Structure 1
Amino acid sequence: MLNLTESNNLSNTSLLSNLKPLNEKALLVQVLVGILLYVNGLMIFTFLKKNVFLEETRYILFAQTLFVDSANMLLTCLTLTGMVIQYPVHIIPCCIICTLLSLLNICTPVTLVAMCLERYVAICMPLRHSSISTPKNTLIVLIVIWAVSFILPLFVLMVFLVYASPVVLRSYVICSLEFMLRVNWLADMRAASLQILFIIMFCIVISTYIKIMTAARSATSENKKSSKGLRTVILHGIQLFLCMLQFIVPYIEMPLWKLDLVLFFNVRYSNYILFVISPRCLSPLIYGLRDKKFCNALKHYAFCGFAVVNRHKIRHVKTVPLEVN
């Protein structure tokens, strides 16, 4: 009969052997994330190099989305890799990382809603667009986005620190958000708050789509511009839906975490691909590749200035609301 030490050694060996396929998946994720980080970094560089993009509210929000998505993918990739290789982290840095991840997870959909509202103003109120989309108002919008995104993660962090014992605060854990949601009422409150936030944002996107569609029917001359705006809002809606589904993922994974660790890692890997990577692939598509002016500037810097682009148009872009193809 095996003693306790021998039994634990056998279970750990079995666990490590079962996690070998996950190490290969983690490597694949790192390659995919590296490609996306390169694309996002190149787009942020393009945004910063052209003053005309710095003056447009839609491009400022787009750049924030790229930054938030890049930081989110980097942190989630690190935490996922740490879980696969079972690397213990001190509980305090783990709490900070999880709080930042929660902040970034909320910031992306809130920014998408702001971008939908900007498209609504540009299409349905074109005469007031220049007076509304000012640098001052854009700064206010950015402050509101970050403030709304920070409220819930900060509250969860404060409650966890209050309820955690000194022994827990000195321990080392495999970093995961589940450690901060062990208080039942806190997990329920967080889930309810995210559901309410999702309903509010989804209603805003739907109403924006309906108003743009109504404007497209009433103004024949603006049909082309409105149809582009409709497609943009639809893509934002899909992106928002995938991002918001990420909020319910921890509550699907938590029972598996206590039941079967290997199954938990497999489910988390699949959720990471579907609800973290997939929606963040849409941001470069919506505003990076579908916008001709931004795409031309992007090609110029991607090929170190050797791409065959109309540089004259890039340097002399008019400061009017730009259209998405």
Structure 2
Amino acid sequence: MSSATQSQINITVGWGLLERVMMSTVFTMPCYVFLFINGTMLFTLRSKSVFRETSRYILLYNLLFADTVLLVQGQLMYILAAFKVTLTYPVCGVLIMLANLNTVISPLTLLVMSLERCVAVCYPLKHATIVTIRNTEVAIIVVWTSSALNIFTKVILLLNFRFEELQSLQMKRFCGKESMLLNQMSELYDKCFTYCLFLSTGVTVSCSYMGVILVARSASTDKASKARNTLLLHLVQLGLSLCSTVYSPIIIAISKVLDRTILMHLPSVFYVGLIIFPRCLSSLIYGVRDQTIRPVLLYNLCFQRKCSLCLSRPDKY
């Protein structure tokens, strides 16, 4: 009887491990696909002088870089959680701070990109004077500095926690954003900063969108219409990014009303929809819609070989 029971336990554990491997493979495949697309897009934006010398493509590169780093970091955290691997507080702190750095960079870069599109449509004669390479570089420096100051503040607040009171630096829970909010002050600051960040970014993008709409209605130009659609997609990106910052509270709230069996796979579904998908939207928005990027991107996705999807030769760009 004891031998039969032990065999049943071994089979159960084996199936549990097999299920984790299969589910992890299914839910991580989209991440690998988008990492390939994002990596190709980053290479594309550095391959031609027209991309390196145009402000909106420089801003796009900055946004894609932050999103790609977040994809890699998120994938690593997902695999660790799927196989129930716990980390030490210092290692988890480094990973979370890296994620926080890029999480702030993405919405701030979207803000600058939205303002650039608004200036291009509403003030076309002043666009070349306002949106210069130098001003773009300054804007990117401000974005990174703001994000770095946020991380510095969080580290200072984190150091106020008495780590010597812990029995061990080994974490008992999986590494996550909430795991590093070790005191009430850190939690309060994180909430206030997140709300202010997305509120200010959302208002700025919305105002830019309204300005472009007014111009599009009066002028009815193709450029204004494309800018309007781009800004609308930026608003969608911001919304999804905001949802990704409250990922854990959403899971906790839904867990109170859903069946346990469904709940087992819900975090993985949310991971793909709220963590991975927003980080690939930039490549899809500009890679498909931008007539300058699209042929070069398709050419590079085909490993620089002739492809039926390529609409024209990329050499002319």
Query: TM-score of the superposition, structure 1-length normalised?
Result: 0.83
Shift of 1:215: 1.1
2:156 match: 158
How do 1:142-181 residues align onto structure 2 when only pairs under 5 Å count? 142-166=140-164, 168=166, 171-173=169-171, 174-181=174-181
2:312 match: 310
2:298 match: 299
1:204 match: 204
In the alignment, the residues of structure 2 paired with residue 104 and residue 20 of structure 1 have an alpha-carbon distance, to the nearest angstrom, of 33
In the alignment, the residues of structure 2 paired with residue 263 and residue 124 of structure 1 have an alpha-carbon distance, to the nearest angstrom, of 49
In the alignment, the residues of structure 1 paired with residue 112 and residue 250 of structure 2 have an alpha-carbon distance, to the nearest angstrom, of 29
Shift of 1:239: 0.8
Offset from partner CA, 1:7-51 (integer Å, 9 cap, x none): xxxx9x989976764443222232211111111111111111101
In the alignment, the residues of structure 2 paired with residue 14 and residue 95 of structure 1 have an alpha-carbon distance, to the nearest angstrom, of 34
In the alignment, the residues of structure 1 paired with residue 295 and residue 167 of structure 2 have an alpha-carbon distance, to the nearest angstrom, of 51
Shift of 1:73: 0.9
Equivalent residue letter for 1:243: S
Shift of 1:170: 5.5
Shift of 1:316: 4.6
In the alignment, the residues of structure 2 paired with residue 214 and residue 155 of structure 1 have an alpha-carbon distance, to the nearest angstrom, of 40
In the alignment, the residues of structure 2 paired with residue 267 and residue 196 of structure 1 have an alpha-carbon distance, to the nearest angstrom, of 29
Q: Is the 8 A contact 1:42 1:298 kept in 2?
A: yes
Q: Is the 8 A contact 2:198 2:242 kept in 1?
A: yes
Equivalent residue letter for 1:274: G
Structure 1 portions without partners, runs of 5+: 1-10, 318-325
1:280 match: 279
- Structure 1 residues 69, 114: CA separation in 2 closer, same or farther (over 3 Å shift)? same
Shift of 1:265: 6.5
Other structure's SS at 2:223 match: helix
Structure 2 portions without partners, runs of 5+: 1-8
In the alignment, the residues of structure 2 paired with residue 90 and residue 256 of structure 1 have an alpha-carbon distance, to the nearest angstrom, of 29
Shift of 1:267: 4.4
In the alignment, the residues of structure 1 paired with residue 12 and residue 148 of structure 2 have an alpha-carbon distance, to the nearest angstrom, of 41
Is 2:112 aligned against 1:110? no
Shift of 1:197: 1.5
Q: Is the 8 A contact 2:20 2:83 kept in 1?
A: no
In the alignment, the residues of structure 2 paired with residue 139 and residue 298 of structure 1 have an alpha-carbon distance, to the nearest angstrom, of 24
1:268 match: 267
2:191 match: 191
In the alignment, the residues of structure 1 paired with residue 84 and residue 78 of structure 2 have an alpha-carbon distance, to the nearest angstrom, of 10
In the alignment, the residues of structure 1 paired with residue 55 and residue 165 of structure 2 have an alpha-carbon distance, to the nearest angstrom, of 48
2:28 match: 30
In the alignment, the residues of structure 2 paired with residue 147 and residue 229 of structure 1 have an alpha-carbon distance, to the nearest angstrom, of 28
2:288 match: 289
1:213 match: 213
Offset from partner CA, 1:200-247 (integer Å, 9 cap, x none): 111111110110011112224xx2111111111111110111101222
Equivalent residue letter for 1:89: L
